[in-house]
Structure 1
């Protein structure tokens, strides 16, 4: 009986991580970047969850499909974009350190 419960728990956790993948993890997994893999994308999402709000994560995720959008945001004079870019830079530096393999 314990074995069945353990197998069910493992199956639930495994499927939950796929179903509940975050915005950035999904964008990363769908990207055509050679280095992208489930482990790296999951790590990047973990860092995003610690450093970025949901709206920031949605904007950052859009950079995977439209890298030029990142450049537009970085060069924007809007105060909201400037503050986002500071948070995004922190996220990027943290992800690079934390997820380095």
Structure 2
């Protein structure tokens, strides 16, 4: 019984930490930026959670590996890309204002 209680306690203690990592946070931490910071990446992910859908987050996370993808989407004639870009700009502005 004690083992079960310890396992349950450990699971609840670890679950919030592992569940918080989202696509933006993971891409941020994996990027080769010299000044990457866990706190900054976490803040950016928090803003993404408030402003972008999960699908938008996955799309935006790809910009960390290939910044040119952002330019392609920004210049695209696709209505879907145009709507995404507007949401992404709002996310960027909110992240810039929040995560210093």
Please tell me the TM-score bracket, short chain as reference: 0.7 to 0.9
Per-residue deviation, 1:16: 3.2
Q: For this pair of structures, how many residues does the alignment match?
A: 92
Runs of 4+ that moved beyond 6 A = none
- 2:29 maps to what in 1? 29
Q: CA RMSD in A?
A: 1.8
Per-residue deviation, 1:17: 4.6
- 1:16 maps to what in 2? 15
TM-score by length of 2: 0.83
**1:1-101 alignment, distance < 5 Å:** 12-13=12-13, 15-20=14-19, 21-100=21-100
TM-score by length of 1: 0.83
